[in-house]
Amino acid sequence: MVSGATRSPRGHFPGIFTLANGLAREGKLSDEQYRFWRAGNDWYDANYPNPSHADPTVYDSSLNPGAVAWFKATAAHLIERVDGYLQLLAAHEVACERVESTDP
């Protein structure tokens, strides 16, 4: 998992998609960055189930405080696409780090 280096108001470290989505929502992306972000998110949506689509309460802070999604280390086809998101975050000086765990 890649997470932000600063805790969110909910008390957890936001993941790479939350960080990138925040930049897009705030209108901080250039046209090229926005195209990358939109295409990347569309690809993930088509190729990886969004936990909140299966259960809209999965990220509800009162029901599931600290809930975050992780990629399995064996999901190389999903992880390899993260580099572009890292470049996007670096371009906006958003601090983040890769976190690995055998028991997330």
Q: Which of 88, 51, 46, 42 is nearest to 71 (CA)?
A: 51
- Supply the pLDDT for residue 9: 66
Using CA atoms, how far residue 104 sits from 48, 68, 76, in Å, is 19, 9, 18
Between 30 and 4, name the one with better pLDDT: 30
pLDDT digits (tens, 9 = 90+) for 62-95: 898 878 788 888 989 988 999 999 999 999 999 8
pTM > 0.85: no
Question: Which has more pLDDT, 88 or 49?
Answer: 88
